[in-house]
Structure 1
């Protein structure tokens, strides 16, 4: 997680998309607000007061980052919703109808009008939920309090991860239930590919590592050595032990697809393929439009998760980095996520049956 949240919308979103992080931060800060429509709400004046900046400063950030804030829960109340909100919290929002805020609320005030009279004329009101309360704090550079809270947020995020997985993110991919399914099937598909290399390719034993790398290059633009270096894997650690289930499934699809294509080519030409012929075959196979959405999805997941969870950047996939969706936090850090050893222990009988085959 980047230390400077003010610069990176992706890093901010990676925190805001995790409900556990938000809950822990809210408990620590002890900030509530006005409970409306199932969420605590804050007005612009309340945000400004908390972070010790002017309402104009808050408004400037809203204007510059409105899509991000709206995505996270910022909204402008009008009509019936505003009427309900005023009935519930009118006595708390007088600070939002001061003269220097007229443009925001679109009310032509007269100086001799009372707060209640001004409130009755209020036609719109910007409100923030707790996520956007934090969102603003992550962006504010003018506020010392916001700077302090950013540091606290990062500490709480790291502590939350440590409590869940002990800070060891190298194998966070294995906490996904689908990974367990993928590694049970992976050896079968892998054997089809290696058997095809053995039967249909005229080349020495180096072909197994060379063409495994060729598939890696086709899918995520790195060979095994480069991948291991980026993730700082030990020599004895297999890259596939750290790959996400979606990537493993795509590798398996490539392996059995290329194995079938090799067999067809072998039967067509009546001899084993040369390396150049296999290289051309893989290039054609990868270029099929069928693979485009699957390759893009795998690259986005790999680049985004490794950046957000493992704090590493695959330079050749950097353009694919996005914020980690809420569903991924649940998948890898939520209640149903488990270590691989826990899943093995739960399914030990399956492994015994596989061993006896």
Structure 2
């Protein structure tokens, strides 16, 4: 089912779209409206693989369903090409916030890599300023439409480049101007967090929060590096932590599991997993377990007590929304409202916000689910 088809999905009589949600792992360049891509491409002379919105959506879907993170990431070449001016960044950020609000998101963290938006002459700081303006415009527009939302920036450095320290310093400089955390993204396999240990040392000294893409295209060793070298407070995806679990016996719904030291640490310390079901399937992150969403170890991790959260990763590439991701999980694992509420509580508790503000989000979620 498409995102539009899931927009009207109900669980126990309540609309999934109307339920209050938290979005922790959603890329700005992965959520650009196809119509906006075509308009900006026409203005700047960027070639596109299609000239009509429906055709462009189909192209993204075909590319994203490759089963390879490397191939999946190639779709971003087109998108970033039209995101090289202040005007474009501001527009895209504004539309991004409005789209989240329409999906029932009350708090979101948008991650993006400023270093990928400089070919038009912008500085890193100018790019961040442009996105922040768009976020604030989007919040105002959503509020005027009756949808209250707050969105914060999460700055990513590309792990295969050499600008991590520069982006980290930028993030710290903007900590009072909309930036709440730092991330490393890009090709995970072969580029562990340990390669940026000095940058993570700096961030730790500044008491600045970190999440790291790990456990998507690489396994437990990458997760270990994210935690030990990166001091990650959350794991970007982290789905392959399930490789550190050994199923001893399974009978019906009862599963006996032996934990590896890494998996036990992540579970016992309640380190949040930023799981993205559709994306994890498309990039091959769950290939070890199967090729259907029902094969995703999401439910195993949830039943074992891991702090699982539900995310979209890249809404345009995956043709999805947070509402759709929740609906897919309901279909795959027969979850009810209590389960969906737990996922939102986990996300609210994991947000890179002061504890008082996280508690407010928890209250908003509880009230929304009660209604």
- Larger Rg computed on CA atoms: 1
TM over 0.5: no
The normalised TM-score by structure 2 is 0.25
